[in-house]
A and B are shown apart, each in its own frame.
Chain A
Amino acid sequence: MNQAALQLEEQYAQKFAKAKKAHRTKSLLKGLLFLLPSIILFSVFLFYPLFKTIYLSFFLTDSSGATTVYVGLNNYINIFTSPLFVKSFQVTFLFVLYTVPGTILVSLFLAILANEKLKGIGIFRTIFSSTMGISVAAASVFWMFLFHPSIGWLNQILAVFGIDAIGWLTDPNSALISVAISTIWMNTGFTFLILLGGLQSIDSYLYESADIDGASYFYKLRRITIPMLSPTLFFVITVSFISAFQTFGQVDMLTRGGPQNETNVIVYSIYQDAFMNYQHGVASAQAVVLFVIILILTLIQFKLGEKKVHYQ
């Protein structure tokens, strides 16, 4: 009697397990079906190129990009011993150093200004975020005119104050800074918009309570606004950081890597090696190195930043 009951229970348990398993498989398949468009897109445009690049970095290629000779790690050894690549390495880091803090500070300043409740503030918000809608190419052309040695506005303004003309894009000392300035201008719109959104999500009660407590404007800024904005700041810093490493368009338009390779950032160097010198293997090796650098720096940033960010 007891034995029979136990057996029955076991049978039921098996049945349940089977049904559960069938249910799980079904929901997994359903999930995959929904993911299919993304999987296909990512595979074609991300995963395949990524693995192909890693694969190519171990080979020499002909001009069409077909592999010819397996060289192992030689491509990597070559780029790290090449003074040209070391130079682009330095240039890229300098460029990141100029643009990331520049963009964040300018955008934060504008966002705090535009967060005030004033009449017609919408106009300023539109203006401040408008660079987001301008393509890199259009912005570069615009800045090229500003930077023009003789007819550019910047030099004309300097002339009004009796300062000698600066070869903004032609002088090796100022070329990188000039490109950085135009990049800061281009990135400000997006960063401004994100930071403004972050500011507006801060509860107004916090400021009212501080008002009653008698806190000054800068006290509120330091003790409430900046800490409450930290998750947003962290996000924009990370995104600007990655995009600064990947800068290509404005360099190509404004300086073509010159003068004297002063603006030859890594991505531009990759482009030159791959599509001007037809050395796809070397270019791939550089791309892999850049990928690893960005990956490591972002991970470090997350490790350090997470402790200082106050998520609500």
Chain B
Amino acid sequence: MNLVKMQELAKSYDNQYNVLDGINLEIEQGEFFVLVGPSGSGKSTLLRMIAGLEDISGGILKINDKVVNHLQPKDRNLSMVFQNYALYPHLTVEQNILFGLQAKKVSKQEQQQRLTETAEMMGLSELLKRKPKQLSGGQRQRVALARSVVSHAPLCLMDEPLSNLDAKLRAHMRIEIRRLQKKLGLTMIYVTHDQVEAMTMGDRIMVLNDGKIQQVGDPITLYNQPANLFVASFIGSPKINLGKAVVQGQQLLIEDSIHIPISSSLLSRLTEHQDLTVGIRAEHLLNGKENRNAHSLEVINVEQLGNETLLTFEVGSQIWTAKWLGQWKVSVGDMVPINISIDHISFFSTKTTELIKPATITTTEQEEVIV
């Protein structure tokens, strides 16, 4: 059953510039749905349109099979967590959590019951008498979540709720929010600009750019089969390595510097495209020590991450990064053999930026997938 349904949803200001255009989307009940995109892509606007804080310029928005285009935020039966938490600084944690219930004139007894229940769940029982000012960032975040939980609304909207926290706390809250959502069976629409958050939290992800849907899918599909160059370079860290490529005889020439032999079946698929852009993930630039076909590249930077090593190379006009598992003693200026397999390369059309052919093998030999 889909809880939220959008048909040709659009947003424009002064009937001129389209901030959002042609948004068709269905969000299932109990789903953790992530809207991700760079700043200015319209993801927050879309969320605010669902909440009813922004007018809808065109299209139809349905919640629970009811058209809600014209409804006030309070009549849409949802809760929202804001980026800066929107806590009332003059009220205590308890008053903050109960604010909505009091506004809706929920009975005192029920208020108390829900408060105790929520406070216990969120670990706020000790802090109920404090003002937001006396709380740490993580605690404020939890109060904002509690306010959303206490409303018992089936749909919860979150607008970059973790962006004000430090990296450690963010990783922790990611898990907490995810657990909470599963436990309460909430339908969550979560906006973020951080692709790591999107990948780790979402059941499904929608990538948005310039007000248009780039791709909707589960995290692994987005990673393995990005629909276009934008999604390919947006999802994944370190960024996917891209390069211009041309077919020369039986070989693929990447950035005028790397030759890779290709099979004739692949050749026939690629020849119809004039300009190609190839993409290869950092973990697929393998150490080619035992391979005589390995390409020798000069290392221009080394980043030691402890359990893995990032090596940076210059390939034509592009900077490529390789991610090798383990600790490697490599220094800047070394020539390193790199093994590039044609099976790891995704092909995109340079003109339309659309995907032509995804990589056929998406896992590395080092780490086989256990199914």
Contact = CB atoms under 8 A, between A and B. Distances in A.
A309 to B, nearest CB: 9
A206 B104 CA distance: 16
A261 B142 CA distance: 64
B343 to A, nearest CB: 49
Given A211-B72, A215-B103, A312-B89, A205 B84 contact: yes
B103 A203 contact: no
B151 A205 contact: no
Contacts of B52: 211-212
B82 A208 contact: yes
Interface string B103-142: 1100000000000000000000000000001000000000
B79 interface: yes
Contacts of B58: none
B161 to A, nearest CB: 12
Interface in A200-225: 203, 205-206, 208-216, 219, 223-224
Contacts of A203: 84, 86
Interface string B39-82: 00000000000011100000000000000000011110011101
B38 interface: no
Contacts, number: 66
B80 A216 contact: no
A292 B84 CA distance: 46
B103 A214 contact: yes
B99 interface: yes
B168 interface: no
A213 B88 CA distance: 13
Contacts of B99: 210, 213, 215, 223
Contact of B73 (A211, A227, A230): A211
B103 A219 contact: yes
B104 A212 contact: no
Nearest to B153: A212
A212 B103 contact: no
Contacts of A219: 103
Contact of B74 (A213, A223, A310): A213
Contacts of A228: 89-90
Interface string A119-148: 000000000000000000000000000000
Contacts of B151: 213
B144 to A, nearest CB: 9
B89 A310 contact: yes
B103 A210 contact: yes
Given A203-B84, A205-B84, A212 B89 contact: no
B100 interface: yes
Interface string A288-312: 0000000000000000000000101
Contacts of A224: 88
A212 B90 contact: no
A206 B74 contact: no
A58 B224 CA distance: 93
A210 B53 CA distance: 11
Contact of A206 (B53, B73, B75, B88): B88
A205 B104 CA distance: 19
Contact of B86 (A206, A216, A223, A310): A206
Given A203-B84, A205-B84, A208-B53, A213 B90 contact: no
Given A227-B90, A310-B89, A312-B89, A212 B84 contact: no
Contacts of B73: 208, 211-212, 214
A215 B72 CA distance: 11
Contacts of B82: 205, 208-209
Most-contacted residue by chain A among B86, B104, B133 (CB, 10 A): B86
B104 A213 contact: yes
Given A205-B84, A210-B103, A223-B99, A310 B51 contact: no
B88 A212 contact: no
A312 B91 CA distance: 11
A66 to B, nearest CB: 57
A223 B103 CA distance: 10
Given A211-B74, A212-B80, A213-B151, A205 B86 contact: yes
Contacts of B78: 212
Nearest to A213: B100
B309 to A, nearest CB: 43
Most-contacted residue by chain A among B51, B75, B82, B151 (CB, 10 A): B82
A219 to B, nearest CB: 5
Nearest to B90: A310
A216 B78 CA distance: 17
B248 to A, nearest CB: 57
Contacts of B86: 203, 205-206, 208-209
Contacts of A209: 80, 82, 86, 147
A203 B89 CA distance: 11
Interface of B: 51-53, 72-75, 78-80, 82, 84, 86, 88-91, 99-100, 103-104, 133, 147, 151
- Which 4 A-B pairs give the minimum distances between C-beta atoms? A213-B100, A214-B74, A310-B90, A215-B103
Given A208-B80, A211-B74, A212-B80, 12 more contacts: A205-B86, A208-B53, A211-B52, A212-B53, A213-B99, A213-B151, A214-B75, A215-B74, A215-B99, A227-B91, A228-B90, A312-B133
26 contacts: A203-B84, A203-B86, A205-B84, A205-B86, A208-B51, A208-B73, A208-B80, A209-B82, A209-B86, A210-B99, A211-B52, A211-B72, A212-B52, A212-B53, A212-B73, A212-B79, A212-B100, A213-B74, A213-B100, A213-B151, A214-B73, A219-B103, A223-B88, A223-B91, A227-B90, A310-B90
